[in-house]
Structure 1
Amino acid sequence: MRSTALIAGAGALPRLLIEAAPEMLVCQLEGGAALSASEVLRFRIERLVPFFDALAERGITRVCMAGAMQRPRLEPELFDARTAALVPRLVGAMQAGDDATLRAVIGLFEEFDFEVIGADAICPDLVPGAGVLCGMPGPEDERDALRAAEIVAALGAVDVGQGAVVARGLCLAVEALPGTDAMLDFVAEHRALVGALLAAPKAGVFFKAPKPGQDRRIDLPALGPRTVAKAAAAGLAGIVFEAGGVLLLDRDQTVQAAEAAGIFLWGHNR
């Protein structure tokens, strides 16, 4: 991994990758939270091409982007001439949505001869395959999972979200810009309003999957112990995720939390 650079954002994923491959060069946008790495190469978007030069000088040939990244405020006076020439492409991609932005960023790295890899290339165990990790989903859960998968596919096709909550065939919430936590909090807050319809103290699934056609080297959806806690608070029976398409962070802790909460975790082939 000495020839690999990690472009680290926020969240647990960069930490897990650094633990798995501490010899990687860790890079981060200026202003990001401190990372526990022996060396962190900080950079600015306004000087993106000099950053590419610095990576090449260090012998970097592969790049992995992991963690949530906020769009930085750009300072026009800091642009160098070569990076300034890329601005129209980047701005156009940003206006087209997150997927277009990510594709544009990947394209730039590849144009400068860097191979872009996914987090699973560094730590394959982060992406579970098909199978039930804990609990026991039933036929009703299977139907809810299939319905939620249809909804998520429709959302993803228009670049909206990667998750949905369905109970007894009813869509209780979909993931949008506020994210997974906000969606599950909404379900928890309104659970009493739909309880009579569900006729069960615990019912429904949270389904998570990549968007159709998404480049899986970057921005894969992720689940972790916090997701389990939110799903349990929302009164759901389980969490279903697309097998091979979702990062499971802190796997042991996540499974233990699900077992303790009495909900299932299921890698599903849709």
Structure 2
Amino acid sequence: MSRTAIIAGSGRLPQILAAALEAPVYVTLSDVAVPDGLDHVSARVEKLGKLFKVLKARDVTSVTFAGAMARPKVNPVLLDRHALRLATSLGKGDDALLREVIAVFEAQGFTVRAATDICPELSLPAGTLWGRKPTATDISDAARARSVLAALSPLDVGQGAVCAGGQMLGIETLQGTDAMLGFVAATPAHLRRDRGVFVKMPKAGQDGRIDLPTIGMDTVKAVIKAGLGGIVIPAGGVIVLDRAAVKQRIEEAGLFLNTI
């Protein structure tokens, strides 16, 4: 039987994928929670060759990457040749590093699977609209935020932005979405022309098999706290965790979520 290994970071996504797969191998590279009853492998990023041997011995033919992962702190003395290849990319942007990660696993014969390939219901189809109908200003703000993110894609900056009344209030950088939305929440009212829209989308040319943007209840709570009016994401391009709860909270708060 061919098996899939989950290279698991923090958060609920790895556990969701584990529940959807038959006999998955749960691989951790850091100290994260491991669900009971799974075939667990604790590995070191410096010793990828050893991990590859373990996975092949367990009949693993494909891997999927899920959950939040920080850039690893590596001990250069312990690096094997596979890890050394990745280490040379640590100083580059996230996209360059992640492409190299995929290449290293594919070079060993593993198929790299997207989370949405395993659980298609994690993303939303085109035309999804939860909550209120967006206003003309909302639509315009979303378009501006999208154009800014598209322009920044070659610079490998971030996956999220906020626009309100034509003004950019926040652009996601290394600190992440929560930090950006916290910054927007702290923006004085007199500097804001409208409620504003949060846009989350992959970078142009990003490989959707790894680090696909993700939103969930924590995101919705942060959007509400920031006083924004809605969320716009691309159809099939963003993972939505806890879909039913997210939809209900958006409707209760008078917000909207729209796919484009």
Q: Of the candidates 190, 200, 210, which is equivalent to residue 208 of structure 1?
A: 200
Instruction: Name the CA distance, whole Å, in 2 between partners of 1:105 and 1:182.
Output: 26
What aligned pairs does 1:6-25 form with structure 2 within 5 A after superposition? 6-21=6-21, 23-25=23-25
Structure 2 counterpart of 1:236, one-letter code: L
CA contact (8 A) 2:3 2:22 kept: no
Q: Of the candidates 223, 238, 247, which is equivalent to residue 246 of structure 1?
A: 238
CA contact (8 A) 2:4 2:21 kept: no
Structure 1 counterpart of 2:35, one-letter code: S
**Structure 2 SS opposite 1:210:** coil
Deviations 1:72-127 (A, max 9, x none): 22224434xxx2x2354322211121111101110010000000010011110001
Instruction: Name the CA distance, whole Å, in 1 between partners of 2:26 and 2:60.
Output: 11
Instruction: Name the CA distance, whole Å, in 1 between partners of 2:57 and 2:78.
Output: 22
Partner of 2:141: 144
Between 141-150 and 64-73, the greater mean CA deviation after superposition: 64-73
Partner of 1:122: 118
Partner of 2:103: 107
- Which consecutive unaligned segments of at least 5 residues does structure 1 have? none
Q: Of the candidates 164, 167, 170, which is equivalent to residue 161 of structure 2?
A: 164
The answer on 1:3 being equivalent to 2:12 is no
Structure 2 counterpart of 1:137, one-letter code: P
**Structure 2 SS opposite 1:216:** coil
Deviations 1:15-53 (A, max 9, x none): 221232262111111x32222142311100121011101
- Which consecutive unaligned segments of at least 5 residues does structure 2 have? none
Structure 2 counterpart of 1:24, one-letter code: P
What aligned pairs does 1:27-106 form with structure 2 within 5 A after superposition? 27-29=27-29, 31-38=30-37, 39-79=39-79, 83=80, 85-106=81-102
Q: Of the candidates 182, 186, 204, which is equivalent to residue 183 of structure 2?
A: 186
Runs ≥4 in structure 1, deviation > 3 angstroms? 76-79
Between 128-137 and 207-216, the greater mean CA deviation after superposition: 128-137
The answer on 1:217 being equivalent to 2:213 is no
Structure 1 residues 185, 156: closer, same or farther in 2, change over 3 A? same
Post-superposition offset of 1:157: 1.9
Deviations 1:206-225 (A, max 9, x none): 00100000000000111111
TM-score of the superposed pair, with normalisation by structure 2: 0.94
Identity, in percent, stands at: 45
TM-score of the superposed pair, with normalisation by structure 1: 0.91
Number of aligned residues: 258
CA contact (8 A) 1:191 1:235 kept: no
Instruction: Name the CA distance, whole Å, in 1 between partners of 2:229 and 2:190.
Output: 17
CA contact (8 A) 1:173 1:187 kept: yes
CA contact (8 A) 2:47 2:83 kept: no
CA contact (8 A) 2:164 2:197 kept: yes
CA contact (8 A) 2:130 2:250 kept: no
Structure 2 counterpart of 1:113, one-letter code: G
Instruction: Name the CA distance, whole Å, in 2 between partners of 1:176 and 1:193.
Output: 25
Deviations 1:166-225 (A, max 9, x none): 011111111111111111111111142324x33xxxx21000100000000000111111
**Structure 2 SS opposite 1:65:** strand
Query: Root-mean-square deviation (CA), in Å?
Result: 1.6
Post-superposition offset of 1:57: 1.1
